[in-house]
Every structure is written in structure tokens, then in C-alpha cells.
Amino acid sequence: MCLKLAPADVRQCPRCGSAMHVRKNDSIQRTLALLITACLLYIPANLYPVMYTDSLGSAEGTTIMGGVVLLINLGSAPVALVIFIFSVMVPSAKLMAMFYLVWSVQQQSSLDLRKRSTLYRITEFVGKWSMVDIFVVTILVALVQLGGILTIKPGIAALLFAGVVIITMIAAENFDSRLIWDNMEEKNSAN
Amino acid sequence: MGSDTACQSCDLLVSVAATKHGESASCPRCGCFLTRCYDDANHRVLAYSSAGLMFLLFASSYSFLSLSRSGVENKITLLQTPAALWSYGMPEVGALVAAFIIVIPATVLAMMAALCILINQGRYHSWLVPLAKGIFLGQHWSMVEVFIIAVIVALVKIAAMATVVIGISFWAYAAFTVCFTLAVSSLDRYQCWERIEALKAQ
């Protein structure tokens, strides 16, 4: 927590009082459990509408991908690209990257250590940017309330997708990147 | 300055004690950022965080965005934005959004300002440790810059359907985002804990 070095047998940090562990507890199990939860939530999050547009009495649901298509049709391809990257590519790429990291640690692989470390840092950094779509829905729901002319209501997928983003963030936090490097040290000392 | 530190990412022991004003250090093995040293970090953080809090106050007191079509107008403030989700049957998402864009960033900034004031007094205070822990935990969960991008995306989405006017609050919130980011990047975790420990040892 506070980057203080202490002997491995000390239970509590002398500087900030946090509980101390050599590695995070049950890192792999927790990360894997959270990743599977996120995968399960990710399916309905993409199938159900994230918001309903009610224009002059006719209601219409839009899914996350539907929103991207709508933006392209409106002629704003750059914004469509932003939404596509953050809401479609980042969450799925992140899930795959985390599964790969967990798998490679389980395999005790000692290849591409630096690359995998960088991959983990990117995954950790990019996580919160997936919330963009949730915030967009929030703003639209609050702003677009023009009585019968045009109203936007939130859909169930907003809740599910927010769940996916937060759970993958917690999963990334639970993963201990030092495990990637532990294998190398063990192999070096074995030689 | 104290002894070595262990890289958070790969646990390599590195000596960063010799880092001087304006220099930064990263891990030689995995490339992970370790620390950046500014002698005047405390003043910087205090300035940015108090400015940020004031901008947030402005941002929450005026109109954020307004929308009109066929003579019907709807004006919202910053606080009404997550509240709308609440009233449409999604209190969970509303609460999360409110936490990520207002509550957590505001708390982190207030804690940063308090921490700097206490450190500037030059004496050890029992609040320093919980404040620092809270700051470094909360930083991870604030999403102010994500929200700014989301506002821009939302504007593009509805510009085709109705007329949107950007209120003064939006600009205040943008300034708040800048101050928040500067404050967070000026407060270095390693240096901050070293300073707290130095005060404790006195």
C-alpha cells in the first residue's frame, strides 16, 4: 500500500498499518472467479437494450452495438469509433488479456515477461474508460426529457454493462503482476 | 530520503533515494513507473486541489447542459444527471455514476488538500496515514476524464435530434478535470509516504 519494505514475517506494515502479504492472497483464484462473472454478465449486456428512445409515442431500444451503428448513420464516424473501441473492443480485449495472463502464470511460463507486464499495466489503465458508454446513457437520460416529443429511458443493459466494467476492474486489481516474474526467479535459482 | 523500494509490478528491489527534483524513476526490469520527485510537490498539490474544489463548486451550482426542440426545453445541472437514473428505476447505476464522477473525486481532492496542509505544518499528525491511504485508494476509482469524453459523445449523439446548449457548469467541470488530473499526477506515492515517515520520525 505505501511501498514500504518490511521483513517478510511482519504481519502489519510499520508505516501505514495495512495488513501485509508477500503476494496478494489467492490472487489467481479471485481473478479467475471475477473474470468468469464478468464474462457471464457480458453476454446479456450486449443483447439487451442499453436505452429506449421514445419519440412521438414510438419506443425503440438500442443495444451497445446498435448505438455504434446509429452514430455511423448520423455521419459521426470518429465518435462511433470512440464508442466502439471503449465499449466493444476494450472490454472483450481486456477479458481475453486477463485470461491469458492468468493462464500464463498457471503454466509458469517465463517468456515475454516484460511484454506481459506491459500488457497488464495497459489492461489496468484502460479499464475505467469502458464506463464512457454508461456515462453517455446517463447524460442522455437526464437531458433528453422533452415530454411526448422525445424521451430517453435507461435499459437493463446499462446496469449489466456497468457491472462488467467494475468487476473486470476489481479482477485486474486482484491479479498480482509480480506472479509473472516469480517463475523467472525460480528458474534462475534452479539453474 | 529513506532506503530502497520494491517495484510494484515485478518486486525487483530498486534504489530510488537519489531521485532529484524534476527527475523520475522507472523499474529497469519491467519498465513500470516508480516515482517522480518534485521538491515543491506539496505546494503544487495544494494549489491544484483547492482550485479543483472551487471549480467543482461552480460546476454543481449552474446549468450543465440544456436541450430544446419544438419549443420544449429541458435544463439539467450536474447533480441532476445521476439523479435522473435514480428516478427512472436504476438507483444502482445512478449511485455508481454519482460516486465515480462527483463523490469520489471531490473526497480525494479534499483529502489531498488536508494532507498538504497538515504536511506543511511540519509536524506529525495522526490523520496523515489514513488520509494518504484514502487518497491512493480513491484515485483509482475516480472517472472525471472519462465523463468529459462521455459528454462530448452524448452531445454528438443528440445534436442531430435537438438543439443543445452547453452551460457554464460544463466548462467549470472541464477545468475541474484538468485540476484533478494535475493534482493526482503531482502527488507521488513514494515521495508522499517518505515525507510522512520523516515527519513521524521527528
Query: Which percentage of chain A shows pLDDT scores above 90?
Result: 3
- Whether A19 is covered by a domain: the verdict is no
Mean pLDDT for the stretch of residues B89-117? 89
One domain, residues B24 and B123: no
Query: Does residue B198 belong to the interface with chain A, where contact is any CB pair within 8 Å?
Result: no
- Whether A54 is covered by a domain: the verdict is yes
pLDDT band at B51 (very low <50, low <70, confident <90, very high): very high
- Whether A20 is covered by a domain: the verdict is no
Query: Does residue A56 belong to the interface with chain B, where contact is any CB pair within 8 Å?
Result: no
One domain, residues B14 and B104: no
- For residue A188, pLDDT over 70 is answered with no
What are the chain A neighbours of B12 within 8 Å (beta carbons)?
181
What are the chain A neighbours of B132 within 8 Å (beta carbons)?
2, 16
- Whether A17 is covered by a domain: the verdict is no
DSSP B20: -
Query: Which percentage of chain A shows pLDDT scores above 70?
Result: 86
Element (H, E) at B13: strand B13-14
A-B C-beta contacts closer than 8 Å: 176
CB B132 within 8 A of CB A2: yes
Per-residue pLDDT of B165-184, as tens digits, reads 888 899 999 999 999 999 98
Query: Does residue B71 belong to the interface with chain A, where contact is any CB pair within 8 Å?
Result: no
Cα(A14)–Cα(B197) distance, integer angstroms: 10
One domain, residues B93 and B166: yes
One domain, residues B103 and B156: yes
- Whether A7 is covered by a domain: the verdict is no
CB B191 within 8 A of CB B35: yes
One domain, residues B172 and B90: yes
Q: Measured between CB atoms, which of B72, B80, B141 is closest to A149?
A: B72
Q: Containing domain of residue B18, as a range?
A: 1-37
One domain, residues B24 and B45: no
Mean pLDDT for the stretch of residues A70-77? 79
Total number of domains in chain B: 2
Cα(B31)–Cα(A116) distance, integer angstroms: 11
One domain, residues B157 and B98: yes
One domain, residues B74 and B148: yes
One domain, residues B159 and B196: yes
- In which residue are the cell numbers 471549480 written? B55
How far apart, in Å, do the first and last CA atoms of chain A sit? 33
Mean pLDDT for the stretch of residues A56-85? 81
Interface of B with A in 106-135 (CB under 8 A): 129, 132-133
- For residue A133, pLDDT over 80 is answered with yes
One domain, residues B24 and B96: no
Cα(B183)–Cα(B131) distance, integer angstroms: 15
Total number of domains in chain A: 1
Mean pLDDT for the stretch of residues B23-43? 78
Q: What is the mean pLDDT of chain B?
A: 84
One domain, residues B18 and B52: no
Report the half-sphere exposure of A46 (CA within 13 A, side-chain side): 14
One domain, residues B55 and B103: yes
What are the chain A neighbours of B99 within 8 Å (beta carbons)?
none
Q: What is the pLDDT of residue A176?
A: 80
Query: Does residue A157 belong to the interface with chain B, where contact is any CB pair within 8 Å?
Result: no
pLDDT band at A190 (very low <50, low <70, confident <90, very high): low
ipTM value greater than 0.85: no
- For residue A152, pLDDT over 50 is answered with yes
- For residue A132, pLDDT over 50 is answered with yes
